[in-house]
Amino acid sequence: MALGCAGKQSNLTSYKIALANKNIRLELRSDIAAVNFPYGKRRGIEDLLVRTVRYYRAIRNHRQKRPSQSKSPVLSSGVLVMKSRLRGRQDDSLLRAYVFSALFRAWMIGFGEYPKINNKGGSITQFVIFADFILHRLHIGKVEDHLEEFRSYRKKLFIGSGFEVVRGKVI
């Protein structure tokens, strides 16, 4: 009897996961269509973004929680030592960089050109609209600030590797 209940529970869980993944695909499909990506390239872009969103959510939701600042006894080499535990929110900058990299890659696949990011207060470009759709689903705000930060981070990495970067293009 217990096996039957467990089987039903796992089937229900797998159904919920499948439904959630299907919803991700449908939501991203509407976002891709809103920006008018070429029809022949939409499927590849959709697959890339679905993998990115699933990975982001999996890492974000399954992190180890950081304990409070309290000191706790730890046995180290047979000696009892009081060590303080870590505290605070974990840094998401590398996880966000992964998402931004996928957004830039999707734009390059779709349109074959480096995406343009508008200046603050200027007219909004299509790429910023597209990124805002996706980042809103991942609960990431301040789109323009994060995109500019990622672009400067990417440029710094390329220059550090010996490449020359002019307006986002690697020479």
pTM of the model: 0.70
Residue-level pLDDT, tens digit, the chain, 171 residues: 444 454 454 554 554 444 455 688 888 888 888 888 899 998 999 999 999 999 998 888 776 655 555 555 566 666 666 665 555 667 778 888 899 999 999 999 999 888 888 776 778 888 888 898 888 888 888 888 888 888 888 888 888 888 887 776 666
Over the range 132-158, which residues count as b (16 or more CB within 10 Å of their CB) and which as e? bbbbebeebeebbebbeebbeebbeee
